[in-house]
Amino acid sequence: MDKNTRICIVGGGPAGLSAGMYLEKKGYENYTILERLDRVGGKCWSPHYNGRRYEMGAIMGVPSYYAVHDVEEFCGITHDGPKLNRNYKDGNGNVIEPFEPKKNILKIPRLLKMKKQVKKLGELLETKYKGYDLNGHRGVSEGRYEGFSQASAKREPVSGTNPNLKDLAMPFSEFCKLNGVELIQDIWIGPFTSFGYGYFDEIPAAYVLKYLDFQTCMNFVKINLWTWKEGTQYIWEQLNDHLKHPARLNSHIEKVERRDGKVYVTVNGETEEYDKIIVTAPLYIPNKRADGQIGMVDYFDAREDEKELFSKIDYERYDVLAVETKPEDHPEISYYVFDNMVPKKLGRLMVYYRRWKDTKDQVITTYALRKHKNSAEVPYETCKKMVLDDLKTMHNPASNVVNEWSVYYFPHVFSEDYANGWYEKVEGMQGKYDTYYAGEIMSFGDMDETAEYSRELVERFF
Ligand SMILES: Cc1cc2nc3c(=O)[nH]c(=O)nc-3n(C[C@H](O)[C@H](O)[C@H](O)COP(=O)(O)OP(=O)(O)OC[C@H]3O[C@@H](n4cnc5c(N)ncnc54)[C@H](O)[C@@H]3O)c2cc1C
């Protein structure tokens, strides 16, 4: 492609900003990033409080976050944040140690079985499911793998056939049953469901395992994790500052028209002409949202195939509260509440996070899911009340709510559409209307998977 190609990037989150970085690295300097808010970072949002920053969105990374590491290198920064630590409570607020055999004598046979199944899963992923851990979903529903190896920072291109990969379209609970490793869900659930990615009976195994590949899950278990002192938003603020063309904030895109090989974007009342457009913002939002976010199909001259395919996308209703507590009520540490990570406890507190150990004048953040495929959605205010009640049950009552956010979170498709080749069809449309689709839906809803997808998109098409 001509290096002077005029490229519009919609969205100034990790996907959009890293698309800018990788384009720039490849010699494309004629790009413009349009961000609708007055800040960059998207779901990496780290507001200030009492002289420090806390996390309303993304919190952590793992050592295999190669794309995030590319950004760190590009900007000369590093993961210098407070060490993470956590403990567990049951639904009644008692501290428990669910994986410690000595504290769970009756559960020893189950724990031993679980250990065996973890080993078995590790072996299956290396053999039967070879190719499962590439970024994105190309080929999976056809029993192929195609992409860049995530085994090392080199990210070598790899491809091959493996019909077993089709199993990844199944909900994760069915996938585990098929492979005789049901008990591993007790481990994978911590960094999956409580992190807002839905329940194992509804989410295709591909999403679970591409994000929580074996090594990543073990990094969570061993708490071998990265954080950033100034918050994850700082990574993207730094990247924005180091780009030749920082994002244009407060950009309200009214209309996008694609005709005669050009892309016309009407933004804040002016129409601008581009050659190509990369969309990292939501493609489709099935309901009206209080924050005014809409899907790409609503402001683009969306074609029938775009409308048809993108209407299959759903997302999680994931709520975050930042609360103050009295010093005597401040939690010792962060806590997981496994009892609340099941669909029948929809809307309840699943995890709460204490970021700073050296002070009690900072907020703690709480996390709850309000939606399950087969249940009625819990209304926002009901969920908020339940979470505040749960904090009392946990013996860490809140004295004040400082910030709250109902996030457009983890867009995904369900098993039937996944198995029917949703990703093959969308990948086949890349570039068709001078439009490229990136961001969370194309890979997975975490910082690195989205930034990595942008890297690969640039590698493949530009
Ligand atoms: C509570 C929470 C915890 C999380 N924890 C982690 C974690 O620990 N580790 C991790 O790796 N990830 C975590 N994530 C996920 C991670 O933040 C996201 O996956 C990542 O930010 C996705 O990047 P993105 O650029 O694809 O989308 P986003 O971050 O959503 O960015 C999209 C951008 O597009 C903008 N936009 C939307 N519509 C338009 C429009 N019409 N015009 C212009 N701009 C538009 C948005 O304002 C936004 O800035 C967490 C997220 C949340 C909310």
How confident is the prediction along the chain (462 residues), in pLDDT tens digits per residue?
A: 999 999 999 999 999 999 999 999 999 999 999 999 999 999 999 999 999 999 999 999 999 999 999 999 999 999 999 999 999 999 999 999 888 888 888 888 899 999 999 999 999 999 999 999 999 999 999 999 999 998 889 999 999 999 999 999 999 999 999 999 999 999 999 999 999 999 999 999 999 999 999 999 999 888 899 999 999 999 999 999 999 999 999 999 999 999 999 999 999 999 999 999 999 999 999 988 988 899 999 999 999 999 999 999 999 999 999 999 999 999 999 999 999 999 999 999 999 999 999 999 999 999 999 999 988 899 999 999 999 999 999 999 999 999 999 999 999 999 999 999 999 999 999 999 999 999 999 999 999 999 999 999 999 999
Q: Which of 255, 367, 447, 452 to mutate to test the pocket of ligand 1 (most atoms within 8 A of CB)?
A: 447
Instruction: Evaluate: CB of 407 within 6 angstroms of ligand 1.
Output: yes
CA distance 17 to 10: 10
CA distance 59 to 231: 7
Ligand 1 centroid from CA 432, angstroms: 25
| pLDDT value for 424 | 98
Instruction: Evaluate: CB of 52 within 6 angstroms of ligand 1.
Output: no
Q: Which of 43, 406, 455 to mutate to test the pocket of ligand 1 (most atoms within 8 A of CB)?
A: 43
| pLDDT value for 100 | 86
Strands (E), 195-310: 253-259, 262-267, 270-274, 276-279
| Torsion region of 93: left, alpha or beta (phi above 0 gives left; psi -120 to 50 gives alpha) | left
CA distance 181 to 345: 24
Instruction: For residue 257, list its beta bridge partners.
Output: 264
> Tokens 């449309």, residue?
429
| pLDDT value for 151 | 86
Instruction: For residue 241, list its beta bridge partners.
Output: none
Q: Is the pTM of this model over 0.95?
A: yes
Instruction: Evaluate: CB of 447 within 6 angstroms of ligand 1.
Output: yes
Instruction: Evaluate: CB of 136 within 6 angstroms of ligand 1.
Output: no
Instruction: Evaluate: CB of 231 within 6 angstroms of ligand 1.
Output: no
CA distance 265 to 422: 27
| pLDDT value for 253 | 98
Ligand 1 centroid from CA 13, angstroms: 6
Q: Which of 193, 444, 446 to mutate to test the pocket of ligand 1 (most atoms within 8 A of CB)?
A: 446
297 close to 342: Cβ distance less than 8 angstroms: no
> Tokens 């194992």, residue?
200
| pLDDT value for 210 | 93
Instruction: Evaluate: CB of 280 within 6 angstroms of ligand 1.
Output: yes
CA distance 296 to 253: 10
| pLDDT value for 150 | 87
Residue of the CA atom closest to atom 21 of ligand 1:
43
Point out the ligand 1 atom lying closest to the alpha carbon of residue 40: 49
Ligand 1 centroid from CA 232, angstroms: 11
